[in-house]
Structures are given as structure tokens and as C-alpha cells.
Structure 1
Amino acid sequence: MRNFKKDNYIQKNTNKPVETKFTVKEETELLVFLLRNINKSRNDVKVLLRDKHIFVEGRAVTQFNHILKAGQSVEIKWKKAPEEQKQKGLSIVFEDQYLIVIEKQEGVLSIATEKQKDNNAYSTLSAYVKRQNPANRIFIVHRLDRETSGLMIFAKSEKVQKLLQESWNETIEERTYLAVTEGSVENDEGTVVSYLVESKALVVYSSPNPALGQKAITHYEVLRRSSKYSLVKFNLETGRKNQIRVHAKDMKHPIVGDAKYGAISNPINRLGLHAWVLSFKHPITKEDLRYETEVPSKFMKLFD
């Protein structure tokens, strides 16, 4: 039996629906609900979620495993509103009155530098929120390297920024990265522990001496191998500058495209590092939020 009541399509001088509305009849996951009730493939539904076409009780939801309750409304807006379009160099994965989660493209700075003031994630998001209200501001919580793609959190107030930064280790439940490394990594999984030190030339390196640097712990698991490359999942127990890049070098398998840390190949014309999964407890609502991005297609082509 179908578990929804379907309202009439909202038409706009066309035979194609602009919006489709449902009423949930029993508790279920959002992805399961959508697959049952619209004629779209699993991948198509995930794209609709990613691009913020799906609204639950009037709020855009991107999590495929969001739990629907009986009586809630689910709305599909087939055509995105102008303000929901992708921003330059990034896309918004989640937004509420307290924070924004984005997926940053490779080659985009997290924040301005002395040499480059514009065209960074911070300035792009700042312009975006100011279009809604000139008094709005954005606050950086953490950073990704310019050539690393993937998930980042920005706060909408100093209070939320401070809450996230001061309770980072307790708030962040999972930070998972995907990397393409040179060579076939020998062990299926393992842990790298060292003390990271930054040189005067701004190159980070590992030391066994706890008096010299900050303790860094990285767990890894090999997902795929070829004769030339490995697809490796990295989980951060600590979040130090260039931590994964340095530890990949320590493993004798530097990340492709990372000449700074020993790579000699660049088969995908970018750094092979992507912030894949981000799971955290919302600092205000205390809701558990989890976001997972698509694996970059360039990564997977090396293992076809």
C-alpha cells in the first residue's frame, strides 16, 4: 500500500509539474519514500536531494536518511529558485539560521590571502548572505587546502563559530576523506601517529618527538587498488594542518598531484584529496547531522 496522499500538481502554463506535494502516512526514510513515490532512479533522487529540490515541512533537506514522520508534508520543487543555484566554486549542502555546510571545489581558497582577496569560499558566502540581508555575516570555522575539495562548515554568528571551535573534538563525530595515493598500499588498514612540525618554509613534517610538534592521529582503510594507485579512506582523529598529506607521505604513498609532499605523478590534474563525509552535532539544536558527497569521478576513473 502506498504511504502517501498526493496533492494536485501546481501548473505554470506547461504540461510539466513545477511542484509535487505529498503527505506522509507512516514513518520512513526520505530516500525510501521518494523512490516509492516518484518515477526516478536512486541516483536521480540523490541529485534532487543534493541540489535542494526536496522540502520537508517547508525546509530544504539534503540528507537521504532523514526520518519522515506521519503527517509531515514533502514537497519536490522541480525547478530551483534563483537563490538556490550553485555559488561560484561551491554548492550549499545545508543551511539554517545558524550555519551553512558547503561542498567546495578544488582550486578554491577557503578564505582570502594577501595575494588573493576575492573568489574564495568565505567571500562568496559572505556575498550570498548579504544579498538576503546586508547586515548578515559569515564566520569561518575550519579550512580546507586550496586544492582539496569537499565539505566545510561556516557559522552565521560569532557565538556559533565559538561554540563549534571550542567544542570541535566533541562536536565532530566523523571527518572522512578520500584520497588517491601513488602505488599500491600494502596493508588494508592501519593508523599513523606522529608529531607535526611546520618549518619556516611552511612545509609540515613528522617528528617522533612530542616536544617539537602537535600530536596527529590518522586512521586509514584501502578501498581499491591498482598497480599504480590506491583509493584510501582517511579518518581524522585530530585535525592538524596538512595532516593527511604528511601521513600519506610517511606511508611512502603520497597523494597524487601533491608535489609538495613527495608525489611524482598527477594523473587527474588536481590534488587527489576530497573531504567526503562530515558528521556533527548541531551546536544549537543538538540535532545529529551527516553529509556525504559524491566521490569525484576523476578518482574513480583511475580504477575502472
Structure 2
Amino acid sequence: MKKAVFDGSGDEEAPDALAIDASDEEEGGRIVWTVGPDQAGERADKHVTEALADLSVSRSQVQDWIRSGAVTINGQSCKPNGKVAAGDELAVDVPEAEPLESLPEDIPLNVVYEDADVIVIDKPRGMVVHPAVGHASGTVVNALLYHCRDLSGINGTMRPGIVHRIDKDTSGLLMAAKNDLAHASLAEQFKEHSVLRRYYALVYGNVPHAKGTVDAPIGRDKNDRKMFAVTDKGSKRAVTHFAVLERFDDYTLLELRLETGRTHQIRVHMKYIGHPIVGDPMYGGRAGRTLGMQGQALHAGVLGFVHPRTGETLEFSAPLPDDMEQALHSLRTR
């Protein structure tokens, strides 16, 4: 398993444990994984429900899948109260999700750029990107449907126009496609890793290296399936480049560039190298004070891509949220 690779010195200045790719968010299809030793002896319905936590399925729904034969253990049907053993191969044929009726909602959007093909917004922290179980309204999609009324239909009624996403707890730039031509082009750019994405994060501790790369695979956390971790089991390659912008003794401001786009990638990688993000509710732990932050100090500040119709290279930036700016001001003047 690869670890962090650092370049330069501290004195230089610098400008799934399951085989599930949660970043793909597939609504249907087969998901297969192997039961680990820590899960041996669990009830089948409990084990599957926890394994598919990112899909937000209920235990009763999983029980229905088991009874219908959609869940198998080592190729054989099972019962909800059956036990799983270490090494068992679990397979779930996830039914296609019934489309949610995403309704337009008059929710203010901070539009950074818009034309007939694409729209770029500055998403506030706390806003979910698209409707899902527990978040049927108040999402970016609901707001876009009201604002645009002409989003690409490639992703169906739940995610019209959505090409990529950022975490609910992350603020910053997000693009959406307004027609299928734009959607196909932007999706291909993401696939080729040619989209420019720069994030800014305030992390705990003094990062000693001016710049570096964290090349460490990410998969499900074996102890908490709602979280992710660096692991060599059932994981996918994840690469994050970082550079130190400012140091504040016990805090560091970083600029980060994503080479891959795994779920919670920056948050997991920062925790992995011992510098979790300030205010991170999942990976920050009790590393230190939150400096008045109302959430995590992670902001998608720069987004660049090739326009799907004109071929022009576009690049946009968004200022840090107020509480993050105030936290930095406090550190600079203390």
C-alpha cells in the first residue's frame, strides 16, 4: 500500500473495505464483497444493511431483497436471520431505484457562470447536491430545476444535469450540464482526470513539508461502513496533491489538487497523514478547537474545464466561506 510522498523541506514556501465505488452512486446493479473476520457471525440482514449504508437502505428493505432472492451468500439464497462467516462472498442485485419526483424549488443559487450549455455555482456548506432518501428537497438539484428548467436528462429525474458532486459538508464550486452534449463532454473530462479541481483546507497540526502527494487507496472503513479509510482491501487508488500556503504553529492552510475523485478523499487522506480537517464531523475527531467554524474547513475553490461546445478552457474561483475566512483572520492576528 502506498503512503504519502513528500517533496521539498519544511522551510520552503509554497503558493471501499468493500468492492463498492460509492463515488459512482449506481442506483442498480450487482454489488459483491467478501465478509471480513470482524463481521463473522452477524445476521445477514444486519450485515447487508450496514454494508450498503451509503445507499441509505433500511433493514426492512434488505429483508425484502433477501426474501426475493436478490441477496446470495456463496451463490445460494439465504434468510434474513442467517449468519455470515468470514470469507463468505455476499452478492446483492440492487433493484433500480424508483425515480424520485424532483420538484423545482425557489432556492437562491450563487451562480458563478452560466450559458446555454453549462452552469457553475458556488454551493454553500450544508447543502446536499441531489435528492436521496432523507433529502428529498432543499437540494442543489431542486434549486437548479427552478433556475434552469433545461437540465440534461442523462442522469434521470433524481440527478438531472449533475456531472459531479461535492460533499454536503464541503462548500465551493460545482458544475451542471444543461444538455446531453455538454453532459457527455464534461463526464468524459472527469473520466480522463483533466478537470482542474483545487480545494483549500485548514488542518490541525503543523504540516512539516512544503508540498507533497498522498497516494493511498481508499475503501470502506471495516469498523464503520458509513466512513472510508486508507486500506489495501477492496479499495481503489486515490491520489491527492497538496501544498502548504500558511502555517499557524498548530494549524496549517493547504491547497489541494485531486487527481482522483473518491468519496471523502481529501478528508480521509488528511486524517491518514495525521492532519485532519478542522471541524470535520466524521474524520476530525477531537484533534483540536474548531476556531468558530460552523462546519468543516474544506472549500472547493477552483474549478477548470474545457467548454463542451466552444473548446475554450474555462477556470473559475470562489472565495472562502465567511467563517473559514474569520478563522484564518483569528489565527493571523492572535
- With normalisation by structure 1, the TM-score equals 0.65
- The aligned runs of 1:1-304 (5 Å cut-off) are 88=107, 90-130=109-149, 138-170=160-192, 172-199=194-221, 201-207=225-231, 209=232, 212-264=234-286, 265-267=289-291, 268-299=293-324, 300-304=328-332
**Deviation for aligned residue 1:201:** 2.0
Secondary structure of the corresponding residue to residue 116 of structure 2:
coil
Name the aligned partner's letter for residue 218 of structure 2: L
| Identity between Structure 1 and Structure 2 (%) | 33
Question: Is 165-174 or 113-122 further displaced after alignment?
Answer: 165-174
- Using the alignment, how far apart are the partners of 1:89 and 1:176 within structure 2? 24
Partner of 1:81: none
- Does the CA contact (< 8 Å) of 1:89 and 1:105 recur in 2? no
Larger RCO (CA under 8 A, 6+ residues apart): 2
- Using the alignment, how far apart are the partners of 1:171 and 1:94 within structure 2? 22
Task: Give CA deviations for 1:189-244 in whole Å, capped at 9, x if unaligned.
Answer: 1110111102462211112x3x6211011110111111231111101111111110
Name the aligned partner's letter for residue 329 of structure 2: K
Task: Give CA deviations for 1:159-196 in whole Å, capped at 9, x if unaligned.
Answer: 32222113314473421000010111111111101111
Name the aligned partner's letter for residue 279 of structure 1: G
Task: Give CA deviations for 1:263-291 in whole Å, capped at 9, x if unaligned.
Answer: 32422121110001011111221111000
- Does the CA contact (< 8 Å) of 2:150 and 2:179 recur in 1? no
Equivalent residues, number: 212
- Does the CA contact (< 8 Å) of 2:181 and 2:308 recur in 1? no
- Using the alignment, how far apart are the partners of 2:322 and 2:111 within structure 1? 20
- Using the alignment, how far apart are the partners of 1:228 and 1:189 within structure 2? 17
- Using the alignment, how far apart are the partners of 1:225 and 1:89 within structure 2? 35
Runs (4+) off by over 6 Å:
none
- Does the CA contact (< 8 Å) of 1:255 and 1:263 recur in 2? no
- Does the CA contact (< 8 Å) of 2:129 and 2:139 recur in 1? yes
Residues 1:116 and 1:206: Cα distance change in structure 2 (over 3 Å): same
**Deviation for aligned residue 1:294:** 1.3
Secondary structure of the corresponding residue to residue 218 of structure 2:
strand
Name the aligned partner's letter for residue 321 of structure 2: P
Name the aligned partner's letter for residue 313 of structure 2: D
- Does the CA contact (< 8 Å) of 1:182 and 1:263 recur in 2? no
Gap runs ≥5 in structure 1: 1-86
**Deviation for aligned residue 1:117:** 1.0
Secondary structure of the corresponding residue to residue 103 of structure 1:
strand
- Using the alignment, how far apart are the partners of 2:114 and 2:193 within structure 1? 17
- Using the alignment, how far apart are the partners of 1:281 and 1:153 within structure 2? 12
Name the aligned partner's letter for residue 105 of structure 1: P
- With normalisation by structure 2, the TM-score equals 0.59
- Using the alignment, how far apart are the partners of 1:128 and 1:237 within structure 2? 31
- Does the CA contact (< 8 Å) of 1:144 and 1:152 recur in 2? yes
- Using the alignment, how far apart are the partners of 1:173 and 1:196 within structure 2? 21
**Deviation for aligned residue 1:126:** 0.7
- Using the alignment, how far apart are the partners of 2:190 and 2:264 within structure 1? 18
Residues 1:131 and 1:169: Cα distance change in structure 2 (over 3 Å): closer
- Using the alignment, how far apart are the partners of 1:281 and 1:130 within structure 2? 23
- Using the alignment, how far apart are the partners of 2:111 and 2:162 within structure 1? 15
Gap runs ≥5 in structure 2: 1-105, 152-156
Name the aligned partner's letter for residue 93 of structure 1: V
